[in-house]
């Protein structure tokens, strides 16, 4: 069995890195931070924000609700406060189905 290097994951990500992951502006992340209580980045003495994996997952949920589901900020806040676990589970299902679809399309392209 070949040796596989483990992917090194960081504990904290800068706001720029998170913005690149989500393909949004840093200002939108700061705006969401002000409007959603579930986003609590760590800040250093200079005020730079550092996001954990949990913060990034919460931002992905917010992105899903606001950008993909077209909910208002108030609607997304209400949905997350009522049943965050259900929203998270639904998002994970959608994410895995999208990944499976992408894999199947790649296999189809290889067969042609």
In a domain, 56, yes or no: yes
How far does Cα 96 stand from its chain's mean position? 14
Question: Residue 108 and residue 106: Cα distance in Å, rounded?
Answer: 5
Q: How far apart are the first and last CA of the chain?
A: 30
In a domain, 4, yes or no: no
List the CATH number of the domain containing 80.
Answer: 1.10.1660.10
Q: Tens digit of pLDDT for each residue in 43-97?
A: 999 999 999 999 999 999 999 999 999 999 999 999 999 988 998 899 899 999 9
Please determine, for residue 15, whether its predicted confidence score (pLDDT) is greater than 80. Answer: yes
**Residue 92: per-residue pLDDT:** 92
Q: Tens digit of pLDDT for each residue in 20-56?
A: 999 999 999 999 999 999 999 999 999 999 999 999 9
Domain that holds residue 81: 13-111
What is this structure's pTM? 0.81
**Residue 9: per-residue pLDDT:** 77
Q: How many structural domains does the chain have?
A: 1
Question: Residue 22 and residue 87: Cα distance in Å, rounded?
Answer: 18
**Residue 27: per-residue pLDDT:** 97
**Locus of tokens 């998270």:** 88
């Amino acid at each position: 069995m070949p040796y596989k290097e483990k992917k090194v994951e960081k504990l904290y990500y800068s706001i720029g890195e998170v913005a690149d992951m989500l393909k949004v502006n840093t200002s939108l992340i700061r705006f969401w931070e002000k409007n959603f209580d579930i986003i609590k980045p760590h800040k250093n003495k200079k005020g730079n924000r550092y996001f954990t994996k949990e913060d990034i997952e919460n931002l992905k949920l917010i992105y899903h609700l606001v950008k993909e589901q077209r909910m208002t900020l108030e609607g997304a806040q209400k949905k997350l406060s009522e049943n965050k676990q259900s929203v998270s589970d639904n998002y994970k299902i959608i994410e895995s189905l999208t990944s499976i679809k992408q894999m199947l399309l790649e296999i189809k392209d290889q067969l042609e």
